[in-house]
Chain A
Amino acid sequence: MPSPGVHHVEMHLLLEGVFQVYGHDFRDYAEASLHRRLSKWLTESRFSTFSQAQGAVLRDPAVFHSLLTGLTVNVTEMFRDPLAFKTIREQVVPHLRTYPSLKVWVAGCASGEEAYSMAILLEEEGFKDRYRIYATDVDPEVLEQAKAGIYPLKELQRFTQNYQKAGGRAAFSDYYSARFDRAMLEPRLRERMVFATHNLAVDAGFGEMHLALCRNVLIYFKPVLKQRVLSLLDTSITPGGFLCLGLKEGLETTEWQRSYEEVVARTRIYRKRYA
């Protein structure tokens, strides 16, 4: 077995190559989990070291594609962390009502469950046609799933429980129709949603968002990339607007601590102060 040092050097070279050839920049992603996923990909590949894989990855888009799939983490669910959605419903929505038209950004939306959860919440709170949800992710494949809004039926039980804990006002079954082992979300939920590929590591922000959710994305980044993304989110959020991070991602100890106030302690839902 090569020493851990060599393994890491090889990983850095591979990531550098991937960036130069394909423009996908994983160099500032947190290494421990990245390394685990890469190693898993390696054991399932026909190569025995990253160095050996490098030539094929850089020359053969199909091999690169399999690597990319192995590297990305798209785990998500509807109304994940139900208390966060309950807090949005109870503490954030009253402020959002004051805007004649509402703009919500779900950054790193994966296969879309979080964005649909927001759509359901806003529908139930009576926003009707007064909102738009921008759902973005770096990974075009998951965005296709997001657009389709079709999920494995076996996950619906969990989604339903989450929905109820999140303070849902209807029967969750109103929002989907089941067919064989799949559940299709009501197409009308999608009417006010816009899906787009967007890379938080390199692309510019969106303007004038009243609420931005970016949950369980920052934990995958090294501090320097976290900084960049927080700054991007900050410039995209209007004063008085809201930022919702994952439960283990806080603004505490960052330079934005002062310009935001947590809505309820430890919910990681923050309101941006007026200048």
Chain B
Amino acid sequence: MRAVAIGVSLGGLEALRTLLGALPAAFPTPILVVQHMAPESSDGLAMILNTVCALHVKEADADETPQPGTVYLAPANYHLLVETDGRLSLSVDPPVNYARPSVDVLFETAAEAFGVGLVGVLLTGAGSDGSRGLRTIQQRGGRTLVQDPLEAVADSMPRSALALLKPDAVLPLSGLASRLLQLTQYSTHSTPRPTRPA
């Protein structure tokens, strides 16, 4: 696996704390996250998550090449995209599904860039952002995971995904964490250990 992409909206802070908090610092791929938020939000989310995660959490910068063991959050008011060479980019294109950042934008571009090397994870949220993107990930041969709607704070994002595709698994957060470890451990023995910028 080359990357994990996560989309989440309402109820996201708790969900991300639980899910990302359960992953080790040596997680073998980068993790890209779109959490819906108000346009003027600060980068406070990265700070909060850093205190509860072993992983390194940061706001995504344009042109950076994502590193293993690092979580990249879409900045407020920007879409987060993946270029075909695997680098990240940002845009202020109009909102998609009323959202900027939009989960579909991340999922669709990441699917294009990573193909079978991508795991897409759709978590709690209102609305339907992320469904189409998750389907694209599946069509490109990537793996797809959806949070169990019964556990989700807001179940409409997971439910609309389930109406559109049959994902590889529907699991509660704890199950998602172990599934991510399973999926990424496979075929990643040659991935270098995470390096952090000084």
Contact = CB atoms under 8 A, between A and B. Distances in A.
B150 to A, nearest CB: 33
A30 B78 CA distance: 15
A32 B94 contact: no
Contact of B81 (A32, A218, A223, A246): A32
Interface in B45-78: 61-63, 75, 78
A147 interface: no
Interface of A: 1, 4, 8, 30-33, 35-37, 73, 75, 216, 218-220, 223, 226, 246-250
B93 A248 contact: no
Helix, strand, loop or mixed for chain B's interface?
mixed
Contacts of A31: 83-84
B178 interface: no
B112 A248 contact: no
Contacts of B63: 223, 226
Contacts of B92: 73, 75, 216, 219, 246
A166 to B, nearest CB: 12
Given A73-B93, A75-B93, A220-B91, A33 B115 contact: no
B78 A33 contact: no
Complex A-B, nearest 4 residue pairs according to Cβ-Cβ distance, in ascending order: A32-B81, A33-B91, A32-B109, A30-B89
B91 A73 contact: yes
B140 interface: yes
B198 to A, nearest CB: 13
Nearest to A8: B84
